[in-house]
Structure 1
Amino acid sequence: MAENNDSRRLRFAVMCNSTELQQWQKQSLDALLLSGCAEPVLLIMPAGNNAKPGKKFWRRIIAYPWNKIIFRKYYQYFFRPQAFRKTIADLGNDEIPVIRCTTTLKKKYSEYFSPEDIEAIRSYRPDFILKFGFGIIRGEILNCAPYGVWSFHHGDEQKYRGVPPAFREILHNDRVTASILQRLTEKLDGGVILRKGFFPTIYHSWRANLDQAIALSLNWPADVCREIIAQHTFPAGGESTSTTAPVYKEPENTTMLQFIAKQFVNKIKFHFLELFQAEQWSTGIIRARTAEVAGNIDYSPDPEMVSWLHSGSNDRYFADGFALRTRHRILLLFEDYSYRQRKGRISAAWYNERDHDFSDITCALEEPWHLSYPFIFKEKDDFYCIPESKDHGSVELYRLDTDSMKLTFVRTLLPGVAAADPTLVFHQNRWFLFFTPAHATNVELHIWHSPDLDQPFEPHELNPVKADIRNARPAGSLFKLDDKLYRPAQDCSQTYGGKVVINEIKILSEEAFLEMPVSTLEPPHGYKGIHNLSFAGDYMYFDCKKFVFSPASFLYQAGKRFRSKKHTSTGIKQL
């Protein structure tokens, strides 16, 4: 294993075609520089213009791939991703040396660097090379730096190879779009995976789908550098990936027409559903032990056995239920959301086991900002709650008075951190706080930790510890079964809060994290989603959703589109 030359900072080279980069490439470089864990030492660029003499007009006409003209013109005039906008690279140092290399083309596509250029690159002692240019590179250049050449691929290499990126996921109705950062090897699309993430496919917009896949992977080179420095090891194993996925090329005219029609229909469907369908969450409690859920591959609550707590209005819903057994009763805390006010508060009710009914609903906490996900736990003789206050931009701790069912502010745990669904667990004499950040609420799992609730929390060395729309966002309290620790997580790949995945945590420490899915919790019959659960003795308290027409939601969505159209017509750009 290569040793890091500097325990605090890695050296890297950038492989690019010119100092003019695409916006996403510059943003990834900016994140790498801002991290403070890497410094640029070299630019590797092509030497001169090696283009072949142009063909005569009629030969160009004959040779043009007319069977792909729709794609090429669409790509040229209509496909304008934000990520592809041109910008000038700023590496913070105008004196970074440049090596211009002439490559040799072999076997039609493979580019090989000369021994002289390779020795020149090695003389700058880069720890890794970040590839933003050239073509398919092979040969000794791949071993020119101890940690190799790193390259992005926007797509799941197990399904889609070739071009264009983030396209066939829409065409084939794939629920997720992937991105990878890999260390290149001699094997095409068979590199060593350094980071891989899965994001929800945006079916109504190819541009938005690609922008999302790119934006949520920009920080990966900086994340890998932090991992190398923190753990003094390379984050990926030495074996290359293996894939038999087909290699796609530019879509032909018939495929492109099919794609344009599908994207148009998806756009109409998207706006129709936003206008006329609103999520209607309900909470329910049922007799169910942890072993029934974690030990059953596909567990689903029987709706006939559930005691339901409904809001009674299409403009209001109850979600994110947490249960706490105290004094032979079960206290329930949940999000109480109003479509009219466009925000939620935390409400509470008691559940009577004998009569299977609920007490009157009481407001436990209301703030000027939106509140949800009232995670509750016991520490010594006190009960505490950490509601989600992502819109407020912090994670805050409240004390719960079980007599009055009121929450009182104690302290801010994470100032300046906009966290979705913060979930706390005490493990191996340390508190670990799980959440997903505001910029990737359903995708990136982050962990912070502290030895004591009264002491500051600090981020995990591997953050984000996971980037997967299918299995990242917390879905309720962690629980133990047979001395094993389990973490419920949301699967939002088909719909927000579609189902819950139960993960067994294999490793959880300040330096490492590993979990494996063991079972899933499906919504009850007649419901379209489930995204939170909490155990209290022999009972499981959970939520699930249907889609309904909400007058308040309709008016809001219609008004939003009217305002957007008005701003556009008056020349005001929407941010």
Structure 2
Amino acid sequence: MKKAQLRIAFIIDTIKVEKWKHRVINTIENASYLKDFVVLNLSDKNEKIESSFSLNKKSFWYDQYLRLDNRLFRPNPNADELVALDKNYLSEFIQYPYDQKDYTSLQDRLRKMELDVIINLSNRNIDFSVLNMSKYGMWHLKLADNIHHLKKYDGINEIIKKKVTLDSHLIGRNSDNKEYLLFSTKSFVDYLSISRTKNAHLWKNSLFITRKLAELYRLGNNFYDLQPILADKELETKIHALPSLSHLLGHTLKTSLKLLSKKITNRYRFQQWILLFKFTDDFFINEHLESYIRIKPPKDRIWADPFPYVKDGRYYIFIEEMLFSDNKGFISVMELYKDGTFSKPKKIIENDYHMSYPFLFEHENNLYMIPETGSNKTIELYKCSEFPYKWEYTKTLRKGVKSVDTTFFEHDNKYWIFTNEKQIEGVSAHEELFLYYTDDIINGEWKAHPKNPIVSDVSCARSAGNIFFKGKRIFRPAQNCSKRYGYGIKIQEIIKLNEHDYEEYNINSIYPDWANDLKGTHTINSTDDLIVIDALVNKF
């Protein structure tokens, strides 16, 4: 039996809409699950949405700060840029004054449409009891710390007060009058720029609204059974005041000094990825990282993303190697000896696009590699034809989307790949982890996990090495990019992994704090009695 398509209504409050909202609307207009699409505009012709917030000295200076920030760090594509709606593709466009006291005629009109869901993308505080006129209730976004309901100040509080992440949630209120957490995400806070911070976050929001609509169509009446119920006031919107002008002044001075300091120090220093290793039988987050031995590359290049492999009692480390002058990585391998010395790395795979993260796995007595080829928008599989130097391209597992740090895992008679994706321009590749599975690595179809993205959190989404067992427990190393790319590593324990569900939580972390010159660490792996890790160091 063919599923019934969805009747969807969007609430907006301006004639023109921001680009990120326009993307949501445009995606839905072209979706196979759509039957009817209604846009309800709750604006008044001569009204300015944000006029309720009186202009004062504080808001004046914050507005100047926002203008300067946008000029210095103009985002592209700009999620906040206003564009006109093409009403020709809508089933209906309704203009209704927000301050209208009597909603009876609007209620009757909405009831006759037999809507499935209403999504509030406006800045209005809609009375759910009045507008709950759809089968699956009303959805709305809770984005960032709320400052007087003014969307232009979204992210200000997080930046000025140096919060770790910028959080947002998609919340649904069903006809049972309960609130459900439909989706939650944690994004990177760029302390240098509110424009860059907010822009990437808004583009990501545009993705998960359309994802949840596709899930609603797929699950139908079972949709809310699989969404967590929010406890009373669990995500209650707290109205924040704008941080004080002294906070703004302090932030502006610190940012200016940081930019100046970075410009000066960059003349005398550079940052370089190096390798570290230790021969030990205890892999489970060895806390004595200061005892690891460094493998330092020449000053003209980096060595990163180490994957060790032992053959015939000899130790090899496969790495990303990149010359600073080329800014394009390739895959190399070196041999490591028990006395701590090592051979000169030898280039084994190079293309006209960047390659890194040489993930290794064995299958049917063959050794395979999935190097990162995200700049080519592919996930490529290579087979070793003569160890360790000769490798042959086998096939492309997935293409069309920038995928980074793809990690293979075999579990419960299925093959899984964990990969971070940058699905549209404007979003980061560090923040969302996707999962695919198959029964046949070479010839099988890679199916998307129904909970994709399985992680939407800048502090633990991107892979950082082999998934490993400790007894019967499964652990996934993940990059912590909340401070900057490659800042640290988190160890996530995988609790559920099957075709229908995925769950993990954090049990430990590695920070770049065991030496004074460290700035980051983002890959850790082990094999037999060898542990390897990489680190970003300051060099003068």
Match of 2:29, SS state, is helix
Paired residue for 1:317? 302
Matching residue within 347, 350, 359 for 2:335 = 350
Asked whether the 8 Å contact 1:300–1:524 carries over to 2, the reply is no
Amino acid at match of 2:489: V
Structure 1 letter corresponding to 2:466: S
The within-5 A match list for 1:60-79 is 65-72=56-63, 79=70
**Cα RMSD for the two superposed structures:** 3.2
More deviation in 177-186 or 538-547?
A: 177-186
Please give the alpha-carbon distance, in whole angstroms, between the structure 1 residues aligned to 2:512 and 2:44: 60
Q: Is 1:391 matched up with 2:375? A: yes
Matches of 2:371 and 2:533, distance apart in 1: 16
Is contact 1:29–1:91 with CA below 8 Å preserved after alignment? no
Pair 1:67–1:19, CA change in 2 (3 A): closer
Unaligned stretches of 5+ residues in structure 2: none
Q: Which residue of 1 aligns with 2:508?
A: 519
Which of 522, 528, 547 is the matching residue for 2:538? 547
Work out whether 1:173 is the aligned partner of 2:165. Answer: no
Q: CA shift at 1:70, angstroms? A: 2.2
Cα 1:117–1:173, aligned 2, differ >3 Å: closer, same or farther?
A: same
Give runs of aligned pairs for residues 14-93 of structure 1, distance below 5 A.
Answer: 14-46=10-42, 65-72=56-63, 79=70, 82-90=78-86, 93=89
Inter-CA distance 230–161: structure 2 relative to 1 (3 Å threshold): farther
What is residue 326 of structure 2 aligned with on the other side? 341
1:458 matches 2:437: no
Which residue of 144, 162, 180 maps to 1:155?
Answer: 144
> Contact 1:333/1:347 (CA < 8 Å) preserved in 2?
yes
Q: Is 390-399 or 77-86 further displaced after alignment?
A: 77-86
Tell me the equivalent position of 1:130.
119
Q: Which amino acid aligns with 2:334?
A: A
Deviation at 1:490, TM superposition (A): 0.4
2:79, 2:387 → 1: CA distance?
54
Q: Is the 8 A contact 1:142 1:185 kept in 2?
A: no
CA 1:88–1:416 in 2, change beyond 3 Å: closer, same or farther? same
Change in Cα spacing, 1:10 to 1:403, as seen in structure 2 (3 Å) is same
1:165-186: CA deviations, max 9, x gaps?
0112221122322232222599
- Corresponding position of 1:530: 521
> Does residue 228 in structure 1 map to residue 216 in structure 2?
yes
Amino acid at match of 1:327: D
1:59-83 per-residue CA deviation (whole Å, 9 max, x = no partner) reads x9xx853453323455578757732
For residue 212 of structure 1, the aligned residue among 200, 211, 216 is 200
Q: Classify 1:77/1:38 alpha carbon distance in 2 versus 1 (closer, same or farther; 3 Å).
A: farther
* Deviations 1:276-301 (CA, angstroms, capped at 9, x unpaired): 654311112213456632xxxxx534
* Amino acid in the other structure paired with 1:344: G
Shift of 1:367: 1.8
Query: Quick check: 1:196 aligned with 2:184?
Result: yes
Deviations 1:544-575, CA, capped at 9 Å, x for gaps? 121225xxxxxxxxxxxxxxxxxxxxxxxxxx
Structure 1 range deviating more: 269-278 or 473-482: 269-278
The equivalent position to 1:365 in structure 2, one of 332, 346, 349, is 349
Distance 1:394 1:521, change over 3 A: same
How far the C-alpha of 1:258 sits from its partner, in A, is 4.0
Give a deviation string over 1:424-460, Cα, whole Å, max 9, x none. Answer: 1112222111111245221111112221112232322
Distance of 1:10 and 1:388 partners within structure 2: 38
Aligned partner (choices 487, 493, 498) of residue 498 of structure 1: 487
Q: Relative to structure 1, is the Cα distance of residues 532 and 98 closer, same or farther in structure 2, using a 3 angstrom cutoff? A: same
Whether the aligned pair in 2 keeps the contact of 1:449 and 1:460 (CA below 8 Å) is yes
Of the structure 1 ranges 426-435 and 130-139, higher mean CA displacement relative to structure 2 is found in: 130-139
- Distance of 1:404 and 1:258 partners within structure 2: 55
**C-alpha contact (below 8 Å) 1:303/1:524 kept by paired residues:** no
**What is the alpha-carbon distance in structure 2 between the residues aligned to residue 404 and residue 134 of structure 1?**
59
| Inter-partner Cα distance in structure 2 for 1:48 and 1:341 | 55
Are 1:405 and 2:389 an aligned pair?
yes
Q: 1:300 to 1:441 in 2, by over 3 A?
A: farther
Q: Is 1:292 paired with 2:284?
A: yes
In the TM superposition, residue 191 of structure 1 has moved relative to its aligned partner by: 5.5
What letter matches 1:441 in structure 2?
A
Distance 2:490 2:503 in 1: 15
- Please state whether the residue corresponding to 1:136 is helix, strand or coil: coil
Say whether 1:479 aligns with 2:465: no
1:207 counterpart SS class: helix
Q: Which amino acid aligns with 1:425?
A: F
CA–CA separation in structure 2 for the residues paired with 1:195 and 1:125: 25
What is the distance in 1 between the residues matched to 2:68 and 2:130?
A: 36
The verdict on how the C-alpha distance between 1:383 and 1:27 changes in structure 2, with shifts beyond 3 A counting, is same
Amino acid at match of 1:210: K
Which residue of the partner structure matches residue 303 of structure 1?
A: 290
SS at match of 2:155: coil
Cα deviation for residue 366 of structure 1 reads 1.8
Report the AA paired with residue 44 of structure 1.
L
Kindly state the Cα deviation for residue 134 of structure 1 after the two structures are TM-superposed: 5.4
| Uncovered stretches (5+) of structure 1, i.e. residues with no partner | 106-112, 294-298, 550-575
Cα separation, 2, equivalents of 1:72 and 1:394: 42
Change beyond 3 A, Cα 1:365–1:116: same
TM-score, normalising length: structure 2: 0.86
The one-letter code matched in structure 2 to 1:303 is E
Alpha-carbon distance in structure 1 between the residues aligned to 2:135 and 2:30: 23
SS in 2 for 1:220: helix
The amino acid that maps onto 1:482 is G
Distance 2:32 2:61 in 1: 45
Instruction: Report the Cα distance in structure 1 between the residues aligned to 2:137 and 2:157, rounded to whole angstroms.
Output: 30
Q: CA deviation at 1:246?
A: 5.1
- Give, in whole Å, the separation in 2 of the partners of 1:48 and 1:390: 46
Structure 2 counterpart of 1:376: 360
Please report how far the alpha carbon of residue 359 of structure 1 lies from its aligned counterpart in structure 2 after TM superposition: 3.0
Whether the aligned pair in 2 keeps the contact of 1:330 and 1:536 (CA below 8 Å) is no
TM-score (norm 1): 0.81
Q: CA deviation at 1:129?
A: 1.2
- Give SS of 1:123's match: helix
Q: Deviations over 1:351-375 (max 9, x none)?
A: 233x333234222212222111000
Paired letter, 2:157: R
Aligned residues of 1:15 and 1:134 also touching (Cα < 8 A): no
The DSSP-based 3-state class of the residue aligned with 1:219 is: helix
How many angstroms apart in 2 are the aligned matches of 1:376 and 1:21?
A: 47
